[in-house]
Amino acid sequence: MAESESQEENYYNEGKMVENFNMDMEELLDEMEKLTVRAAWMAYDYVAIQTNPGPYNAMQHLEDAFLMCKEQMEKKWQEVLLESRALWAETSRSSIQICNCQQKVEAAVGWSLFYKGNQDNLE
């Protein structure tokens, strides 16, 4: 009985191993197909560049222009970011000053009301 269970388990494990092997082989085949397509396109591009370098040179020029533009945009973005941080800091300072003034006014009004109330009691 134990021997038949062991045989069934071995059979099950072998089946799983074959299934896993098949899945791995399919994944490898897919990867190989992708690599083959990439290699074919690289060969095509190489032949196209060798026979007519004009489009390649134009693409290089466009890429260089794009990279220069991107660099300038990043610099501008950093400047805008720094300006906005400075503006935010200035706004925060102004808000704090306004709050401090408001607290002083409230305190002065409170004291004047307190003083007026005490004067009414004295009369």
The length of the chain is 123
CA distances in angstroms from 4 to 7, 8, 9, 12, 13, listed in the order given = 5, 6, 9, 12, 14
Amino acid letter, residue 107: A
Domain boundaries, the chain: 1-51, 71-123
Supply the pLDDT for residue 48: 81
What's the pTM?
0.38
Spatial contact of 34 and 27, defined as CB atoms under 8 Å apart: no
- Burial state string for 28-52 with b = 16 or more CB within 10 A and e = fewer than 16: eeeeeeeeeeeeeeeeeeeeeeeee
Q: What is the pLDDT of residues 45-79, one digit of tens each?
A: 888 878 888 888 888 898 999 899 989 999 888 88
Q: What is the pLDDT of residues 6-32, one digit of tens each?
A: 777 776 778 888 889 999 999 999 999
